[in-house]
């Protein structure tokens, strides 16, 4: 019965996508939650991750690239934060516009360095190609993607739940009293969190590159699902982001077959429905962002 | 007006309860506020005064209990609905339109203006009633001559008075004041005292206050909140004598020193 | 690197001048630049190049621009046309209709260009040709393979230099049906070009008696095609016709390799831009496709042209001429030749000189002809597939030409054309 | 007379109108071109309308390009298939955009700040994709071409053909003058006062009996109507409606235009911003292939060093010193006055 097997495979595939979306979205949300900055450059940094990997891979191999490229992106983020910093406490618009400008600049920089032609990155040999396990036929690399995504999500969870920084991130930008109580230098925390968020974007970029191939514009499309995932899941909610990611992943995966023409719109539909039903997203508490 | 109306409380609170998470802030609070009286709600810090005030003004919704205004159940009305019923409030932490001049601040609060809220064409300045009402209020709060100064450039004292003025411009029938004197001293405090005195002849006033001298000298009736419960209520004299009140206040006095 | 090399020599000096001017402050640079453009726009023949440097077709856009510039420089070396030097002013149309329209208006209104050429996406070509028709200025749609611009959207001033979907599909159809099988599955890029391509594919299927196993739309901006690939695997067609372009196509092939889908069926990409093949490399650019030209062809003039091109664009990202840059070159060259024949830049005369003209030295086996009834450049096609890495002489020698389809067989007959060309009376006279 | 000016067209506005009146004569001299002037006025209408939302209500809508674009599509579709003509399609374009805006506003009216921005981004992008998917009507990436600039005038009396760019310039100019005055009136109307109050303190506004959500809904819809109108003109200017103005990128541009000029500080900010912005873009793209880089850096620089915009600088100058009076001292936060304590 091929239909059932196909359906199962599609579901599985939706989940893998969802995990990837969740990674992108979490990096985005760390920054959003902690300094109330919509990091528009998230997509560009995502792309940058891929390009760094492209540059590193021939010399150090894929695994090292996977480790190093995001660090490079993180550093870029670190630098960006020194600019973004000036927008804290002002109308959120300023942070948004600053990163918007950064996104344009980064995309053009990529164009200058690598040109507007596309590139492809090949995954390590042992995950190249598909595999057949019983009725299940699937791509080896995507299994690796799922594993890496889970590891990353686990790491973020640990960061949020088991470190003092996590507490601050969850408390959000406003509760600086609590930050002082913990005797932590807020400026440094923000800088660190920004770097971490961009690191997540970068590593997602590296992971996605072998599947989606590289073009300077790749980031633009990658960041939109992240926005939606965050709003659906509820700003500031770890599990919300994961749930949202999986929902968007499944929805866009399956709708490709059911309503291919509208499959892009499906996630917006999802967004609208969720908002009608729960204005703050699935797991969002009444957040400072509304007050 | 008829006798029944004179006796019936303007605002009445029955069995009000509010908890945040597990922590109960207000429990079974019953209050009555009589017409054309100054009623004060006092209590040490953390007694639940502000929460109570937020429930009265509709910023928060109670877990239990009901709030009646002139016999109408307003428990679940939004702040703006209550305001349109004639319940106007002032804020403890100054909440003015800082880029607006004194005149604009007051004018936008006048009901005549509110009724024209969706008028997109005639200049706001052309609404006569609003202009006159605003001018009157500004005289009342002793800011005549500074009409065209932006609120952010006023002195703190003047801003405090403007805070009340904006509330008054709403032509309240019930005026709720959240610590009107906080940080106030000298001349502005006197102006405020006289103002409230005069208003109490025509208005029903509910005031939350720390400044005992202010409360004792002005209010007809005082309710004391302690740890979310009303522990006493009565005329100033009675409250001054009330042992329990002294106890809890001395307690807080120590508490505040320590803090 | 592309951009340093992509400017004409004049473009370079101009930019240096401008950068200098800008150095003194935007205001100075600004007025300086604008006035400069006006001062220069008079005497020489000025050709406006509307080539993308941003967006989906950025690299192809630059490729065609290189071809055009080469042709223009060759004419200047011979002393120009009608004793006038030839200038070119380039605007980045960003693969975007409304940007293209704005910049074209600027070229026409401010820079007073005499001719305009350059387009990859039909989304740019269609509005530009409409705009050109309004002014009566001649516009060469050098590389858009959409059918609409030579059918319902055809214009008196517009000439289409690339082969179009109809031609690709009709050239491929019989071969595919004969050699690869008759169970076809369609992937349609969900925008006007893609749907148009699938429509003509369907007509061809009827002709060759192929059976449609199903169709899936590929939304624009979609990055993940595993769903479609898995579907294809479960449907088990013999042939997959993928009417897709741009990054979606490269990403799809990337993932097809990932899922081993290239073995599930024979893949056919009717429209294949060479730059995309370079992106993918020989391993991943599997499948069959149609092309109009490649520098590896063994035809008269190809070698010389290729050498000239390589010399001029030694450090371009793609230093060899491909179908895109060859179209650009031929378009520019034929325009200037037509001006020579007409003895004027007056639009009507030049159009007359172009219509029905036969291009013999087109570096192909059979000559091309500029058809007067729909202004399509009727030309031959090559059926091709990617060379095995072992057979490649260099990294650009990727195309294995399987067979040649002569123009009369490849080009749509007059009967199927829906073009209603404006009369000369309806077309404003431009320039001269 | 004075009061008339103040109520309708204050002197700076008259100056602005005069400038645009003579602009076509000046532009060629500095090497500009009429079309650029037209585009400036069209975007100015868009930006002035949008600034009702951003500058006056303080709501950072980030998807307004969508409504700008929709105006063009509604105009085009009605002109092609439904009504024909010029004025009616323009009206339909305006209303169409307004209705779509009203629908979106239902979702966002209770939000503010960053959350508002996020949602408007999402909905804006949704419309942008919709245009590509509904290409049977919108023409997809080819755009909805073949929109006609018909002659305007009073039938029988006189007719002005708009084909010519100069004629079209003055057609747009007339509308620009009218709409600028209209928007100016709105800003000074009671409604305008209320939305500006909401910007300064929403909690206070609702405490004064204003249903702030309704006002936010209204102003969002209103700004969408202006966006739609401008978008309609834009499609006339290009003889077609195209997806690009609906992209996130363009939505960002209009926000920046308002900011650059000083939309938070001055009514005229948006117009100045539009002029500076379009001229710079025009210059950059002739300077270098990589103008996007310059452009992005400019973006960032403005946010960092000129957040209140050009006209914001002039506002900085004149500021009265806060007046002092005795006895008033702001309390340290959380302080408690001892009962009956000395004062």
Q: Which residues, other chains included, contact C355 with Cβ-Cβ below 8 Å and sequence gap of 6+?
A: C370, C372, C375
Both B109 and B214 in a single domain? no
pLDDT at C32 over 60: no
**Distance (Å, whole) CA C32 – CA C17:** 9
Instruction: List CB contacts (< 8 A) between B117 and chain D.
Output: 190-191, 194, 210, 215
From residue D92, alpha-carbon distances to D52, D65, D79, D126, D244 in Å are 21, 18, 9, 21, 21
Instruction: Provide the pLDDT for residue B251.
Output: 54
Q: Which chains touch B (3 or more CB pairs under 8 A)?
A: D
The CATH code that applies to domain C2-163+298-379 is 3.40.50.2300
H-assigned helices in B108-154: 111-115, 128-140
pLDDT tens per residue, range C302-343: 999 999 999 999 988 889 999 999 999 999 999 999 999 999
- Across B227-249, average pLDDT: 84
Residue C24 has pLDDT above 80, yes or no: no
Interface contact A211-C278, CB threshold 8 A: no
* CB-based contact, A115 to chain D, within 8 Å: no
For residues A202 and A106, the answer to whether their CB atoms sit within 8 Å is no
| Mean per-residue pLDDT of chain C | 86
Say whether C195 sits in a helix, a strand or coil. Answer: helix
**Considering only CA atoms, which of B88, B86, B82, B108 is closest in space to residue B97?**
B108
Parallel, antiparallel or unpaired: strands C399-405 and C381-386: antiparallel
Q: Does the pLDDT at position B254 exceed 80?
A: no
Q: What is the C-alpha to C-alpha distance for residues A15 and D46, in angstroms, rounded to an integer?
A: 42
Average pLDDT value over all residues in chain A: 85
The tokens for A109 are 């920089």
Residue D235's closest chain C neighbor by CA? C98
Write the burial class of residue B72 (CB in 10 Å: 0-12 exposed, 13-18 middle, 19+ buried). Answer: exposed
Chain C 327-366, CB below 8 Å of chain D: which residues? Answer: none
Cβ neighbours of D188 in B, within 8 Å: 123-125
Nearest CB partner across the interface for D336, out of B91, B95, B210: B210
Given a cut of 60, whether residue D90 has pLDDT beyond it is yes
Which domain-ending residue is among B112, B136, B171?
Answer: B171
What does the pLDDT average to over A260-288? 77
Task: Out of C50-59, C407-416, C421-430, pick the least confident.
Answer: C50-59
pLDDT tens-digit readout, D228-243? 999 999 999 988 899 8
What is the domain extent for residue B208?
1-86+173-259
Range A68-83 average pLDDT: 95
CB contact under 8 A, D283 and C30: yes
pLDDT tens-digit profile of B62-112?
Answer: 999 999 999 999 999 999 999 999 999 999 889 999 999 999 999 999 999
Ordered by where they begin, the domains of chain D are 2-316 (1.10.3470)
More confident residue, D280 or B56: B56
Q: What integer best gives the mean pLDDT of chain B? A: 87
Q: What number of other Cβ atoms are within 10 A of residue D30's Cβ?
A: 12
Tell me: do B62 and B74 sit in the same domain: yes
Assess whether B148 and B197 both reside in one domain.
Answer: no
Res D341: pLDDT: 32
What's the ipTM? 0.85
pLDDT at B255: 41
B138 and B177 both lie in a single domain: no
Are B80 and B190 found together in one domain? yes
C101 touches chain D (CB under 8 A): yes
* Cα angle: D304, vertex D307, D313; to 5 degrees: 120
Give the angle subtended at the CA of A259 by the CAs of A258 and A261, to the nearest 5°: 145
Q: Which domain holds residue A75?
A: 2-290
Q: Is D113–A231 a contact, with Cβ atoms under 8 angstroms apart?
A: no
**Number of structural domains chain B divides into:** 2
- Centre a 10 Å sphere on the Cβ of residue D14 and count the other Cβ atoms it contains: 12
Residue-level pLDDT at A178: 59
**Of C56, C217, C228, which has the smallest distance from its Cβ to A261's Cβ?**
C217
CB contact under 8 A, D142 and C126: yes
- Chains C and B touch each other (3 or more Cβ pairs < 8 A): no
Domain locations in chain C? 2-163+298-379, 166-291+381-410
Chain B residues closer than 8 Å to D325 by CB? 155, 157-158, 186-188
Q: What is the CATH number of the domain that holds B229?
A: 3.40.50.300
Judged by a CB distance cut-off of 8 A, whether residue D138 touches chain A is: no
Q: Is C395 on the interface with D (CB under 8 A)?
A: no
Any long-range contacts for C141-145 (C-beta under 8 Å, 24+ apart)?
C141/C117, C142/C64, C142/C68, C142/C117, C142/C118, C142/C327, C142/C328, C142/C331, C143/C60, C143/C64, C143/C118, C143/C119, C143/C324, C143/C327, C143/C328, C144/C119, C144/C120, C145/C193, C145/C271
- D136 Cβ under 8 Å from any chain C Cβ: no
Chain A contact present for D129, CB below 8 A: yes
Tally of domains within chain A:
1
Top-confidence residue, A48 or A128: A48
**Rounded Cα distance, C146 and C324, in Å:** 14
What φ, ψ does residue C167 adopt, rounded to 5°?
A: -65, -45
Instruction: Report the residue from B79, B95, B154 with minimal CB separation from D201.
Output: B95
Q: Is D248 on the interface with C (CB under 8 A)?
A: no
Q: Do chains D and C touch (3 or more CB pairs under 8 A)?
A: yes
Mean pLDDT computed over B31-53: 89
The tokens of A80 are what?
């960006």
Q: Is A265 on the interface with D (CB under 8 A)?
A: yes
Per-residue pLDDT tens digits for A135-177: 788 889 999 999 999 999 999 999 888 887 777 776 655 555 6
Question: Who wins on pLDDT, C31 or D147?
Answer: D147
* Length of chain D (residues): 343
Under DSSP, the state recorded for B150 is: B
For D335, nearest residue in chain B (alpha carbons): B256
Rounded to whole angstroms, the Cα distance separating C36 from C46 reads: 14
Q: In chain C, which among 23-42 make CB contacts under 8 A with chain D?
A: 26, 29-31, 33-38
Of the residues B171, B186, B214, which one is the last residue of a structural domain? B171
Mean pLDDT of chain D: 86
3-state DSSP of chain A: CHHHHHHHHHHHHHHHHHHHHHHHHHHHHHHHHHHCCCCCCHHHHHHHHHHHHHHHHHHHHHHHHHHHHHHHHHHHHHHHHHHHHHHCCCCHHHHHHHHHHHHHHHHHHHHHHHCCCCECCCCCHHHCCEEEECCEEEEHHHHHHHHHHHHHHHHHHHHHHHCHHHHHHHHCCCCHHHHHHCCCCHHHHHHHHHHHHHHHHHHHHHHHHHHHCECCCHHHHHHHHHHHHHHHHCCCCHHHHHHHHHHHHHHHHHHHHHCHHHHHHHHHHHHHHHHHHCCCCCCCCCCHHHC
Residue D322 has what pLDDT?
Answer: 47
Q: Residue window 200-219, chain C: list those with CB within 8 Å of chain D.
A: 219
User: What pLDDT was estimated at residue A177?
Assistant: 60
C3/D39 CB distance under 8 A: no
Q: Which residues of C109-147 are buried (b: 16+ CB within 10 A; e: fewer)?
A: bbbbbbbbbbbbbbbbbbbbbbbbbbbbbbbbbbbbbbb
CATH of the domain at A211: 1.10.3470
Ordered alpha helix ranges (H), C157-273: 165-175, 192-208, 226-235, 246-258
With helix as H, strand as E and coil as C, how does C4-51 read?
HHHCCHHHHHHHHHHHHHHHCCHHHHHHHHHHHHHHHCCCCEEEEEEE
Residue among D203, D208, D322 whose CB faces B108 most closely: D208
Q: Does A89 touch chain D if contact means CB atoms closer than 8 Å?
A: no
CATH architecture for residues C166-291+381-410: 3-Layer(aba) Sandwich (3.40)
Taking only residues 182 to 221 of chain A, the set having a beta carbon closer than 8 angstroms to any beta carbon of chain D reads 220
Q: In the prediction, which pLDDT does A123 show?
A: 82
Please report residues of B whose CB lies closer than 8 A to that of D55: none
Statement to judge: residues B188 and B75 lie in one domain: yes
CB atoms within 10 A of CB D214: 13
| Same-domain check for residues B79 and B186 | yes
Whether residue C61 contacts residue C120, with contact meaning beta carbons closer than 8 Å, is answered with: yes
Same domain, B166 and B196: no
Which residues of D fall within a CB distance of 8 Å from B108?
193-194, 197, 208
Q: What separation in angstroms does the CA of D110 have from each of C165, D49, D52, D206?
A: 50, 21, 17, 12
B203 and B157, same domain (yes or no): no
- Give per-residue pLDDT as tens, C124-169: 898 899 999 989 999 999 998 888 888 888 999 999 999 999 999 9
Chain B contact set for D196 (CB, 8 A): 97, 99-100
CB contact, 8 Å: C315 with chain A?
A: no
């Amino acid at each position: 019965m091929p239909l059932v097997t196909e359906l199962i495979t599609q579901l599985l595939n939706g989940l893998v996508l969802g995990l990837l979306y969740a990674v992108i979205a979490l990096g985005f949300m760390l920054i959003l939650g902690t300094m109330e900055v919509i990091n528009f450059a998230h997509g560009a940094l995502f792309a940058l991750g891929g390009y760094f990997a492209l540059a590193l891979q021939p010399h150090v191999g894929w695994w090292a690239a996977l480790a190093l490229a995001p660090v490079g992106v993180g550093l870029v983020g670190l630098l960006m934060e020194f600019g973004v910093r000036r927008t804290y406490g002002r109308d959120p618009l300023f942070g948004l516009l600053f990163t918007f400008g950064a996104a344009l600049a980064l995309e053009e920089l990529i164009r200058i360095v690598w040109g507007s032609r596309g590139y492809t990155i090949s995954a390590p040999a042992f995950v190249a190609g598909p595999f057949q396990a019983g009725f299940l036929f699937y791509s080896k690399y995507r299994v690796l993607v799922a594993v890496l995504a889970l590891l990353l999500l686990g790491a973020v969870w640990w960061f949020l739940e088991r470190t003092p920084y996590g507490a601050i991130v969850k408390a959000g930008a406003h509760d600086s009293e609590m930050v002082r109580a913990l005797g932590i230098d807020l400026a440094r925390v923000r800088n660190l969190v920004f770097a971490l968020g961009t690191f997540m974007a970068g590593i997602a970029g590296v992971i996605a590159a072998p599947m989606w191939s590289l073009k300077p514009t790749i980031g633009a499309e990658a960041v939109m699902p992240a926005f939606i995932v965050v709003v659906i899941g509820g700003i500031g909610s770890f599990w919300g982001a994961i749930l949202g990611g999986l929902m968007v992943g499944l929805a866009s995966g399956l709708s490709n077959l059911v309503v291919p023409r509208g499959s892009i719109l499906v996630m917006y539909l999802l967004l609208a429905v969720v908002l009608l039903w729960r204005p703050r997203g699935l797991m969002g508490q009444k957040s400072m962002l509304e007050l | 007006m008829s006798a029944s109306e004179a006796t019936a409380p303007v605002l009445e609170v029955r069995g009000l309860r509010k908890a945040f998470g597990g922590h109960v802030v207000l429990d079974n609070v019953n209050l009555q506020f009589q017409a054309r009286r100054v009623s004060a709600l006092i209590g040490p810090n953390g007694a639940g005064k502000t929460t109570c005030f937020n429930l009265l003004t509709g910023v928060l919704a109670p877990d239990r209990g009901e709030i009646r205004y002139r016999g109408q159940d307003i428990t679940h009305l939004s702040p703006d609905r209550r305001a349109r019923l004639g319940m106007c409030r002032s804020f403890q932490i100054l909440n003015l339109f800082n880029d607006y001049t004194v005149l604009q601040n007051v004018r936008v609060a006048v009901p005549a203006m509110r009724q024209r809220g969706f008028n997109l064409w005639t200049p706001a300045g052309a609404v006569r009633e609003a202009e006159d009402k605003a001018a009157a209020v500004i005289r009342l709060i002793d800011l005549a001559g500074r009409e065209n100064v932006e609120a952010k450039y006023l002195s703190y004292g003047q801003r405090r008075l403007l805070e009340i003025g904006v509330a008054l411009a709403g032509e309240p029938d019930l005026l709720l004041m959240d610590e009107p004197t906080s940080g106030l001293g000298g001349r502005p405090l006197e102006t405020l005292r006289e103002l409230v005195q005069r208003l109490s002849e025509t208005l029903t006033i509910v005031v939350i206050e720390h400044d005992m001298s202010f409360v004792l000298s002005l209010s007809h009736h005082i309710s004391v909140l302690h740890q979310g419960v009303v522990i006493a209520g009565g005329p100033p004299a009675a409250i001054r004598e009330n042992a329990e009140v002294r106890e809890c206040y001395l307690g807080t006095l120590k508490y505040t020193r320590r803090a | 690197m592309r951009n340093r090399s992509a400017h004409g020599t004049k473009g370079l000096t101009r930019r240096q001048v401008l950068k200098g001017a800008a150095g003194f402050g935007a205001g100075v640079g600004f007025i300086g630049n604008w006035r400069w453009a006006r001062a220069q726009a008079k005497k020489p023949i000025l050709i406006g190049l509307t080539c993308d440097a941003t967006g989906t077709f950025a690299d192809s856009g630059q490729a065609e621009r290189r071809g055009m510039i080469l042709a223009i420089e060759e004419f200047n070396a011979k002393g120009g046309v009608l004793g006038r030097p030839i200038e070119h002013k380039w605007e980045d149309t960003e693969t975007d209709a409304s940007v293209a329209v704005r910049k074209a208006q600027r070229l026409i209104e401010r820079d007073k260009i005499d001719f305009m050429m350059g387009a990859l996406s039909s989304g740019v070509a269609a509005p530009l040709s409409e705009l050109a028709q309004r002014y009566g200025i001649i516009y060469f749609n050098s590389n858009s393979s959409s059918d609409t611009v030579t059918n319902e959207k055809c214009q008196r001033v517009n000439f289409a230099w690339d082969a179009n979907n109809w031609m690709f599909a009709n050239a491929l159809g019989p071969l595919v049906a004969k050699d690869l099988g008759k169970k076809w599955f369609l992937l349609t890029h969900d925008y006007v070009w893609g749907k148009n391509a699938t429509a003509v594919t369907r007509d061809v299927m009827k002709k060759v008696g192929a059976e449609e196993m199903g169709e899936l739309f590929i939304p624009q901006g979609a990055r993940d095609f595993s769903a479609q690939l898995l579907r294809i695997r479960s449907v088990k067609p013999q042939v997959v016709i993928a009417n897709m372009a741009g990054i979606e196509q490269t990403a799809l092939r990337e993932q097809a390799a990932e899922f081993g889908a290239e073995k599930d069926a024979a893949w056919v990409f009717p429209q294949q831009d060479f730059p995309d093949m370079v992106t993918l490399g020989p391993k991943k650019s599997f499948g069959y496709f149609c092309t109009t030209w490649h520098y590896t062809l063994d035809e008269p003039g190809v070698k010389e042209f290729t050498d000239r091109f390589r010399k001029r664009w030694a450090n371009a990202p793609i230093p060899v001429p491909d179908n895109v840059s060859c179209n650009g070159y031929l378009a520019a060259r034929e325009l200037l030749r037509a001006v020579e024949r007409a003895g004027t830049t007056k639009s009507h005369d030049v159009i007359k000189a172009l219509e029905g003209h036969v291009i013999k030295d087109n570096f192909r086996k059979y000559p091309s002809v500029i058809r007067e009834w729909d202004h399509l450049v009727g030309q031959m096609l090559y059926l091709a597939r990617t060379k095995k890495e072992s057979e490649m002489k260099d990294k650009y020698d990727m195309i294995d030409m399987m067979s040649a389809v002569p123009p009369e067989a490849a080009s749509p007959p007059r009967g199927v054309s829906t073009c209603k060309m404006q009369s000369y009376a309806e077309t404003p006279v431009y320039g001269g | 007379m004075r009061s008339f000016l103040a109520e309708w067209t204050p002197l700076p506005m008259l100056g602005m109108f005069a400038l645009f009146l003579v602009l076509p004569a000046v532009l060629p001299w500095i090497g500009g071109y009429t079309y650029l002037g037209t585009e400036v006025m069209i975007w100015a209408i868009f930006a002035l309308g949008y600034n009702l939302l951003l500058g006056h209500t303080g709501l950072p809508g980030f998807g307004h390009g969508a409504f700008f674009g929709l105006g063009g599509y509604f105009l085009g579709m009605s002109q092609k298939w439904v009504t024909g003509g010029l004025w009616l399609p323009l009206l339909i374009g305006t209303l169409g955009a307004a209705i779509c805006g009203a629908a979106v506003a239902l979702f966002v009216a209770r939000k503010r700040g960053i959350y508002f921005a996020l949602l408007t981004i999402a909905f804006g992008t949704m419309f942008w994709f919709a245009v590509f998917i509904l290409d049977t009507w919108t023409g997809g990436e080819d755009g909805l071409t073949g929109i006609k600039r018909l002659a305007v005038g009073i039938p029988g009396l006189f007719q002005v053909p708009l084909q010519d760019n100069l004629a079209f310039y003055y057609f747009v100019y007339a509308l620009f003058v009218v709409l600028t005055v209209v928007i100016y009136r709105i800003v000074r109307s009671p409604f305008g006062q209320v939305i500006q109050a909401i910007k300064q303190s929403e909690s206070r506004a609702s405490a004064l009996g204003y249903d702030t959500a309704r006002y936010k809904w209204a102003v969002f819809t209103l700004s969408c109507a202006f966006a739609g109108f401008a978008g309609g003109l834009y499609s006339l200017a290009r003889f077609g409606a195209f997806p690009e103005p609906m992209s996130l990128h363009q939505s960002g541009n209009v926000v920046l235009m308002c900011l650059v000029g000083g939309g938070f500080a001055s009514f005229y900010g948006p117009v100045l911003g539009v002029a500076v912005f379009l001229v710079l873009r025009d210059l950059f793209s002739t300077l270098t292939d990589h103008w996007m880089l310059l452009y992005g850096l400019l973006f960032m620089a403005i946010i960092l060093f000129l957040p209140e915009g050009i006209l914001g600088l002039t506002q900085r100058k004149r500021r009265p010193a806060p007046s002092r009076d005795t006895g008033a001292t702001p309390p340290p936060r959380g302080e408690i006055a001892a009962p009956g304590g000395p004062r």
